[in-house]
Each structure stands twice: as C-alpha cells, then as structure tokens.
Amino acid sequence: MGMQELERITARRSELDTLAEELAKQLHEVRAEREELIVAERVLNCLAEQDRAVAVAPTPARVAGRAPC
C-alpha cells in the first residue's frame, strides 16, 4: 500500500470522525427537543381534558389543590 493511499485513508477517517461527532451532537439536540415536545403534548392534552370536564361539570375535583391531570 502506498503512502498516498494511506494518507487518503487517514484523511477520510478523520472526516468521518468529525461527521460522527456532529451527528451525535445533532442527535442529542433532536432527542432533547423531542422530549420537550412530549411534555408539551401531555400538558396540552391535560388542559384539553380539563376544558372538557369544565364543560360537563363546572367544578372539577381537586386533590391537594391540584387538577386531576
């Protein structure tokens, strides 16, 4: 194997290492945002349930000052 091929392999490996690091960072950011959206979805579903409960019964039950969701 010649030096030129070895240099190309080394350079490509370095490029791929950099790309892998960037992708890992992006994946971490995507997962964090996805978790935030899951929480927001739960809150909105809870609020929608409370709105439906208010429409049926004007005073929803509370336990220790908290809404049922």
- Output the pLDDT for position 1: 67
- Mean pLDDT computed over 42-67: 79
- Output the pLDDT for position 16: 98
Nearest to 62 by CA among 44, 50, 51, 52: 50
pLDDT bracket for residue 59 (50, 70, 90): low
- Output the pLDDT for position 63: 65
Question: pLDDT (tens digit, 9 = 90+) per residue, 3-54?
Answer: 999 999 999 999 999 999 999 999 999 999 999 999 999 999 999 999 888 8
| Residue 29 to residues 22, 25, 35, 43, Cα–Cα distance (Å) | 11, 6, 10, 21
